[in-house]
């Protein structure tokens, strides 16, 4: 068993160690805490660590209590997830070439998927062996979130590899998600790569993408997350087909954002579509999408309002819809919030059931990692019971395949939905 290196003065330590670099820091786990890394689960929690520390994002070697190699990982001094594994191969070297290999593999996987859009998720964090990194491609523009200390430290190498793998000329950074604070990182936004040079101040951050047959505008600087919710792409297509198949005339799109499901409904032949969201800029974009795609703006109504209050008001007014979409933001970021989130999900689903015409279609989603598919089904069941409404499960829905889940990291599964036909 190698003796544990004393904690070194951070000033004299090289930025990152290598296999043959004796200054590579070692994180020793507590007895019995090696199981999850042995199962190739990439997280090491603070409480599992017996000894060792490193600088933010520094590459560390993780060993079992007995001194057996388990993984190379990135150290996050302030996060409860103290190490995120880069690799479980002792012979692997974590360097710029490592990031090129991982990014090339992720991009190659997407190119096999035949995605019906020029906008897609290229890097999906842990599922692509790059914990903390999210990269979406919108046409010729990449939009990236660096959400953990490890990817933050390797940002330059990652940016280089992304441009090389895709041939895109523009890479915008959207590292402004609140989770960065848990990593001790400040928000960071702006162009990382641009034909006018790094740090360019080009205000032209809007990109027009083609999803299915539709044109949609995405602003990588001003939109939510990286700009758009690409994970719902396949579900928007299914919705269009069902609206057509079931002849849904009156459609209510709750938490519409920029109206992706509203455009789908209009494309499916809906006569009247109402988009509800609490973001005025998102709704303005939803209205613009209606006209951009050649639909009569008279067929679309935008409500800048809280969904829950709107559903209650519509019930009071005796409104009825042939199809309703409920795609709320994450109510439960972790399992600890599941109970309160369950009540919120149940409430909006109960209200939606009450507004649904017999034979009507409900698409209901949860993107909370803390609420799994089986719990979500139970919540929706409770909502149906309270509303006095039953329905047939038409389809179980999930994120589009460019947002993959891996075999060894089931926690990566976050978006789940049900398509229900009211009896
Ligand atoms: N269905 C969308 C994505 C929805 S994201 C798509 O296909 O693109 C969730 C949306 O819910 C965001 O646009 C956010 O502005 C909105 N939102 C959050 N809380 C809300 C509330 N209480 N009432 C209305 N909208 C809300």
Q: What is the DSSP string of 383-402?
A: HHHHHT--EEEEEEEE--TT
Quickly list DSSP for 89-101. -TT---SHHHHHH
Ligand 1 site-directed mutation target among 214, 274, 278, 415, most atoms within 8 Å of CB: 278
Residue 282 Cβ inside 6 Å of ligand 1? The answer reads yes
Hey, what are 293's tokens? Answer: 């795609």
Please tell me the chain's helix, strand, coil percentages from 3-state DSSP, rounded to the nearest 5.
30, 30, 40
**Mean pLDDT (whole number) for 349-375:** 96
- Whether the Cβ atoms of residue 375 and residue 343 lie closer than 8 Å to each other: no
Ligand 1 site-directed mutation target among 264, 329, 364, 365, most atoms within 8 Å of CB: 329
- The candidate with the shortest Cα–Cα distance to 120, out of 132, 109, 105, is 109
- The candidate with the shortest Cα–Cα distance to 360, out of 394, 383, 309, 386, is 394
- The candidate with the shortest Cα–Cα distance to 26, out of 56, 67, 57, is 67
Distance 411 CA to ligand 1 centre (A): 23
Lowest mean pLDDT among 4-18, 87-101, 143-157: 4-18
- The candidate with the shortest Cα–Cα distance to 78, out of 63, 62, 56, is 56
For the chain, the average pLDDT equals 94
Residue 380 Cβ inside 6 Å of ligand 1? The answer reads no
- Domains along the sequence of the chain with CATH: 19-87 (2.30.130.10), 96-208 (3.30.750.80), 229-422 (3.40.50.150)
Distance 357 CA to ligand 1 centre (A): 23
Kindly give the pairing relationship between strand 119-124 and strand 59-63: unpaired
pLDDT, position 274: 99
Residue 278 Cβ inside 6 Å of ligand 1? The answer reads yes
**Mean pLDDT (whole number) for 263-290:** 98
Which residue's CA lies nearest to atom 12 of ligand 1? 257
pLDDT, position 411: 83
**Mean pLDDT (whole number) for 253-273:** 98
pLDDT, position 7: 38
Q: How confident is the model at residue 122 (pLDDT cuts 50, 70, 90)?
A: very high
- The candidate with the shortest Cα–Cα distance to 277, out of 289, 286, 266, is 286
Angle, vertex CA 18, rays to CA 35 and CA 82, nearest 5: 40
Q: Is residue 287 annotated as a catalytic residue, yes or no?
A: no
Tell me, what DSSP letter sits at residue 11? T
Which residue's CA lies nearest to atom 16 of ligand 1? 255
Q: How far apart are CA 231 and CA 212, in angstroms?
A: 14
Q: What is the pTM of this model?
A: 0.93
The percent of residues in the chain predicted with pLDDT above 90, rounded, is 89
The runs of H, that is alpha helices, within 113-204 are 149-153, 155-166, 179-182
Angle, vertex CA 145, rays to CA 15 and CA 415, nearest 5: 130
Half-sphere exposure of 358 (CA within 13 A, CB side): 2
Ligand 1 site-directed mutation target among 119, 138, 209, 277, most atoms within 8 Å of CB: 277
Tell me, what DSSP letter sits at residue 382? H
- Return left, alpha or beta for 416; rule: phi > 0 is left, psi -120 to 50 is alpha, else beta: beta
Selecting among 168, 254, 287, 367, the annotated active-site residue is 367
Residue 329 Cβ inside 6 Å of ligand 1? The answer reads yes
pLDDT, position 56: 97
Lowest mean pLDDT among 2-11, 149-158, 179-188, 297-306: 2-11
pLDDT, position 116: 93
14 has pLDDT over 90: no
Distance 370 CA to ligand 1 centre (A): 19
CA 154 from centre of chain: 21
Which residue's CA lies nearest to atom 7 of ligand 1? 260
Q: How far apart are CA 70 and CA 210, in angstroms?
A: 44
74 has pLDDT over 90: yes
364 has pLDDT over 50: yes
94 has pLDDT over 50: yes
Return all residues near 257 (Cβ < 8 A) that are at least 6 apart: 224, 229, 277, 279, 282, 286, 327
68 has pLDDT over 50: yes
* Helix (H/G/I), strand (E/B), else coil: 373: helix
CA 378 from centre of chain: 23
15 has pLDDT over 80: no
Q: Helices (H), strands (E): how many in the chain?
A: 11, 20
13 has pLDDT over 50: no
Residue 255 Cβ inside 6 Å of ligand 1? The answer reads yes
Residue 260 Cβ inside 6 Å of ligand 1? The answer reads yes
pLDDT, position 269: 98
Rg of the chain taking only CA atoms, in angstroms: 23
Dump pLDDT digits (tens) for 395-412: 999 999 999 999 988 888
pLDDT, position 199: 77
49 has pLDDT over 70: yes
Which pairs from 331-337 meet CB under 8 Å and 24+ separation? 331/366, 331/368, 331/371, 332/366, 332/368, 332/369, 332/370, 332/371, 333/368, 333/369, 333/370, 334/369, 334/370, 335/369, 335/370, 336/370, 337/368, 337/370
Q: How far apart are CA 251 and CA 265, in angstroms?
A: 7
Residue 230 Cβ inside 6 Å of ligand 1? The answer reads no
Return all residues near 240 (Cβ < 8 A) that are at least 6 apart: 212, 264, 265, 267, 268
pLDDT, position 20: 52
Distance 132 CA to ligand 1 centre (A): 23
Residue 307 Cβ inside 6 Å of ligand 1? The answer reads yes
Distance 104 CA to ligand 1 centre (A): 33
Distance 160 CA to ligand 1 centre (A): 33
Distance 39 CA to ligand 1 centre (A): 36
Distance 328 CA to ligand 1 centre (A): 5
298 has pLDDT over 90: yes
44 has pLDDT over 70: yes
9 has pLDDT over 80: no
Which atom belonging to ligand 1 lies closest to the Cα atom of 232?
7
Cα-Cα end-to-end distance for the chain = 66
The runs of H, that is alpha helices, within 121-232 are 149-153, 155-166, 179-182
Stated as kind and residue range, the H or E segment containing 323 is: strand 321-326
- Whether the Cβ atoms of residue 416 and residue 396 lie closer than 8 Å to each other: yes
Q: How confident is the model at residue 197 (pLDDT cuts 50, 70, 90)?
A: confident
Hey, what are 30's tokens? Answer: 């507590």
Which residue's CA lies nearest to atom 23 of ligand 1? 306
Residue 229 Cβ inside 6 Å of ligand 1? The answer reads yes
pLDDT, position 21: 61
């Amino acid at each position: 068993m190698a003796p544990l290196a004393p904690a070194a003065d951070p000033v004299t330590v090289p930025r990152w160690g290598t296999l043959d670099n004796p200054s590579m820091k070692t994180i020793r786990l507590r007895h019995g805490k090696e199981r999850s890394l042995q199962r190739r689960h990439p997280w090491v929690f603070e409480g599992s660590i017996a000894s060792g520390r490193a600088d933010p994002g520094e590459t560390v070697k993780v060993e079992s209590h007995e001194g057996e190699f388990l993984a190379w990982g990135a150290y996050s001094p302030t996060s409860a997830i103290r190490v995120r594994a880069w690799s479980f191969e002792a012979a692997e070297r974590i360097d710029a070439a490592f990031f090129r290999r991982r990014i090339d593999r992720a991009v190659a996987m997407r190119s096999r998927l035949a995605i019906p859009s020029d906008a897609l998720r290229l890097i999906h964090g842990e599922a692509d062996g790059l914990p903390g990194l999210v990269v979406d491609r919108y046409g010729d523009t990449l939009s990236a979130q660096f959400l953990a200390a490890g990817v933050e430290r390797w940002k330059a190498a990652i940016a280089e590899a992304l441009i090389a793998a895709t041939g895109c000329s523009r890479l915008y950074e959207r590292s402004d998600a609140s989770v960065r604070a848990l990593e001790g990182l400040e928000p960071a936004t702006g162009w990382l790569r641009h034909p006018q040079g790094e740090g360019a101040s080009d205000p032209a951050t809007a990109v027009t993408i083609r999803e299915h047959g539709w044109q949609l505008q995405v602003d990588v600087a001003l939109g939510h997350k990286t700009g758009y919710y690409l994970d719902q792409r396949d579900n928007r297509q299914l919705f269009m087909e069902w609206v057509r198949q079931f002849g849904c005339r009156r459609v209510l799109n709750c938490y519409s954002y920029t109206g992706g499901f509203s455009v789908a409904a209009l494309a499916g032949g809906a006569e009247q579509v109402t988009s509800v969201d609490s973001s005025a800029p998102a709704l303005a974009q939803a209205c613009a999408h209606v006209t951009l795609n050649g639909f009569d703006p008279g067929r679309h109504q935008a409500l800048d309002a809280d969904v829950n209050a709107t559903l209650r008001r519509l019930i009071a007014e005796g409104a009825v819809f042939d199809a309703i979409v409920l795609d709320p933001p994450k109510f439960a970021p972790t399992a600890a919030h599941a109970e309160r989130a369950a009540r919120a999900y149940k409430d909006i689903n109960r209200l939606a059931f009450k507004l649904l015409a017999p034979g009507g279609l409900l698409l209901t989603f949860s993107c909370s990692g803390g609420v799994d598919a089986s719990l979500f089904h139970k919540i929706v069941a409770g909502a149906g019971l309270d509303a006095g409404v039953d329905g047939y499960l038409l389809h179980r829905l999930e994120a589009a395949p460019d947002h993959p889940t891996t075999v060894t990291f089931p926690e990566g599964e976050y978006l789940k939905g049900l398509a229900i036909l009211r009896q």
